[in-house]
Amino acid sequence: MNISTFNRRQALTAGIAASAMMTTRGLFAEQLVQTAAMTEGPFYPDKLPLDTDNDLLVINDAITPAVGEITHLTGKVLTASGSPVRNAYVEIWQVDNQGAYLHTGSSNRERRDGNFQGYGRFLTDSAGRYYFRTIKPVPYPGRTPHIHFAVSQSGKRVLTTQMLIAGEKQNDTDGLVKRIRDPEALKSILVDFKPMAESTLGELTANFDIVLGKTPKDG
């Protein structure tokens, strides 16, 4: 669907507020399940966009937004003991609604939505929270729908993974997903996309908490 113009400041504020209300599964458990690592893949942007903020639907001050199902993506970056990770550098990148990456080698690049940023980044707050406004991921040839995530701390990449849609049928036949044999590890990257209450635009919400293993601070 075509996305109507949306106030970016409202989007960012609403996202942080929504994240603040989210509860973290297993926060008070002795040890959380570490988020499964997955490959970066070949399509991390080979040239970053001019706009690299956390709103992937509008580039700079453009009037025309990207096409796709608007998704407010929230979550926290946590240690294995459930402590929030402050100032973690969270990056995401994904295909647009046509299945094209922001990369010169991407399939369908000639049909790429020039209004979709394709890449965004966010620095977590004191509670470990992050927020992105993006689109619900669509398939790339040979892959199930997914969003790439990279988390860095103190200038060092500490986790690279991919977020998947819970219940998506293509997950069962995706070659990279099938490499994850541990059911709990697989569950750690499956996310529900739910209708946003009272949204007139058909917006969705998704919450993806990221649990790290060892970080530079942990040694």
CATH of the domain at 129: 2.60.130.10
Give the pLDDT score at 107.
87
In whole angstroms, give the CA distance from residue 211 to residue 186: 13
For residue 91, being part of any structural domain is answered with yes
For residue 7, being part of any structural domain is answered with no
Give the pLDDT score at 7.
47
pLDDT in tens, 182-208: 999 999 999 999 999 988 899 999 999
Element (H, E) at 10: helix 8-21
Give the pLDDT score at 12.
52
Count Cβ atoms within 10 A of the Cβ of residue 214 and give its class: 0-12 exposed, 13-18 middle, 19 or more buried. Answer: exposed
Q: How confident is the model at residue 31 (pLDDT cuts 50, 70, 90)?
A: confident
pLDDT at residue 26 is higher than 60: no
Q: Which residue has the tokens 């790429």?
A: 112
Q: Which residue has the tokens 């394709």?
A: 118
pLDDT in tens, 87-106: 999 999 999 999 999 999 99
Give the pLDDT score at 30.
66
Mean of pLDDT over the chain: 87
In whole angstroms, give the CA distance from residue 208 to residue 148: 12
Higher pLDDT, 147 or 213: 147
Q: Which residue has the tokens 């001050």?
A: 61
For residue 219, being part of any structural domain is answered with no
> Which residues form the domain of 88?
31-211
For residue 22, being part of any structural domain is answered with no
pTM to 2 decimal places: 0.85
For residue 9, being part of any structural domain is answered with no
Give the N- to C-terminal CA distance of the chain in Å, as an integer: 47
In whole angstroms, give the CA distance from residue 164 to residue 15: 20
pLDDT at residue 113 is higher than 90: yes
Bridge partners, 143 (sequence order): 140
Provide the domain count of the chain. 1
For residue 155, being part of any structural domain is answered with yes
pLDDT at residue 15 is higher than 80: no
Which of 29-38, 52-61, 193-202 is predicted least confidently?
A: 29-38
Bridge partners, 78 (sequence order): 84, 211
Q: Which residue has the tokens 């739910």?
A: 194
